[in-house]
């Protein structure tokens, strides 16, 4: 029996699954930092609290399709915490703020990300970017047909690695939400456009308030610390198993003439994530 490209896809899926597990590590750390009111490392920008999606009762927000409540932000340039927004309790965004100059469209889904940003002058801002195909990062934003359900779209956004969300052109940024827009019609005007937004919350509030209640602190904080440790240990175990499996696959005697020579001469390249894993984790360069 000889190896084929399907085996590379299987190994690549293991690498992608491991990457999803790795994402949980920082979530667990942020929960611990939030509980302890202590940030374990310095970051260029971090959300300390808030920026929740809210339903506004203000008439001034009547044209805003998305409203975020007040939040606290800390940057590496500012010694004190920054209240965002500073002059009001709400940040509102219209559909044109979010979609910008995207072409007129109807009956489709648009996916994007919401970033909290700061520049070298310490100006904080909320910025929206629309998803592109991983294979065409400089291409136009993707519009998905409504031949799939909203639930399927949510699974796609959460689990796929085939979409990218262009980073803002700012010095510092952190992602706080992804969104799925169910668009009935959009023509670059607020008056005519119709869309419903579903947010996927990816905020990681860091240490500021803490669990100050004595009973809450006594019961919850030890569990939060234990959970952070456990998730790191589970990831380490999973990573070691994935490395063993992929190393055994790459080191199999069925490759002819050898694993490296086979893939250097193959008409189809190894999946990029798998190739990077082989290089970074196993020292196998192609």
Query: How much is the pLDDT for 9?
Result: 94
Query: How much is the pLDDT for 4?
Result: 77
Q: What is the pLDDT of residues 29-71, one digit of tens each?
A: 999 999 999 999 989 999 999 999 998 878 888 889 999 999 9
Cα distances (Å, whole numbers) of residue 152 to 146, 157, 185, 234: 10, 9, 21, 28
Cα distances (Å, whole numbers) of residue 134 to 12, 48, 165, 240, 272: 15, 31, 9, 27, 11
Handedness of CA 116, 119, 123, 127 (dihedral sign): negative
Helix-helix angle 5-36:214-250, to 10 degrees: 160
Answer whether residue 174 shows pLDDT above 80.
yes
End-to-end CA distance of the chain: 23
Lowest mean pLDDT among 11-25, 130-144, 203-217: 203-217
Query: How much is the pLDDT for 58?
Result: 82
Mean pLDDT computed over 111-138: 91
Query: How much is the pLDDT for 165?
Result: 95
Answer whether residue 100 shows pLDDT above 70.
yes
Q: Using 50, 70 and 90 to split pLDDT, how confident is the model at 1?
A: very low
pTM for this predicted structure: 0.88
- The angle at the Cα of 248, spanning 243 to 252, to the nearest 5 degrees, equals 150
Answer whether residue 77 shows pLDDT above 90.
no
Q: What span, in angstroms and rounded, lies between the C-alpha atoms of 53 and 86?
A: 17
Answer whether residue 88 shows pLDDT above 90.
no
Residue holding tokens 């209640």?
213
Q: What is the pLDDT of residues 209-254, one digit of tens each?
A: 888 777 778 889 999 999 999 999 999 999 999 999 999 999 998 8
Are 4 and 265 in contact by the 8 Å Cβ rule? The answer is: no
């Amino acid at each position: 029996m000889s190896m084929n490209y399907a085996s590379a896809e299987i190994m690549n899926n293991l690498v992608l699954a491991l990457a999803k597990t790795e994402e949980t590590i920082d979530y667990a750390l942020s929960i611990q930092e939030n509980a302890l009111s202590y940030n374990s490392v310095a970051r260029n920008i971090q959300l300390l609290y808030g920026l929740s999606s809210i339903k506004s009762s203000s008439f001034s927000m009547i044209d805003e399709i998305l409203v975020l409540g007040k939040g606290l932000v800390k940057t590496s340039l500012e010694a004190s915490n920054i209240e965002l927004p500073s002059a009001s309790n709400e940040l509102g965004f219209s559909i044109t703020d979010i979609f910008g100059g995207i072409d007129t469209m109807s009956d489709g889904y648009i996916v994007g990300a919401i970033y909290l940003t700061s520049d070298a002058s310490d100006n904080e801002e909320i910025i929206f970017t629309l998803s592109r195909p991983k294979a065409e990062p400089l291409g136009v934003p993707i519009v998905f047909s409504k031949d799939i359900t909203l639930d399927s779209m949510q699974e796609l956004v959460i689990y796929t690695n085939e979409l990218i969300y262009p980073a803002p052109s700012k010095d510092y940024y952190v992602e706080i939400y992804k969104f799925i827009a169910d668009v009935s019609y959009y023509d670059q005007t607020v008056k005519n456009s119709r869309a419903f937004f579903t947010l996927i919350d990816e905020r990681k509030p860091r240490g500021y308030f803490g669990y100050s209640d004595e009973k809450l602190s006594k019961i919850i904080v030890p569990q939060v610390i234990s959970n952070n440790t456990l998730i790191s240990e589970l990831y380490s175990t999973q990573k070691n198993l994935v490395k063993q499996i992929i190393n055994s696959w790459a080191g199999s005697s069925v490759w002819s003439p050898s694993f490296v020579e086979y893939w250097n001469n193959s008409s189809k390249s190894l999946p990029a994530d798998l190739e990077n894993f082989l290089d970074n984790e196993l020292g196998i360069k192609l």
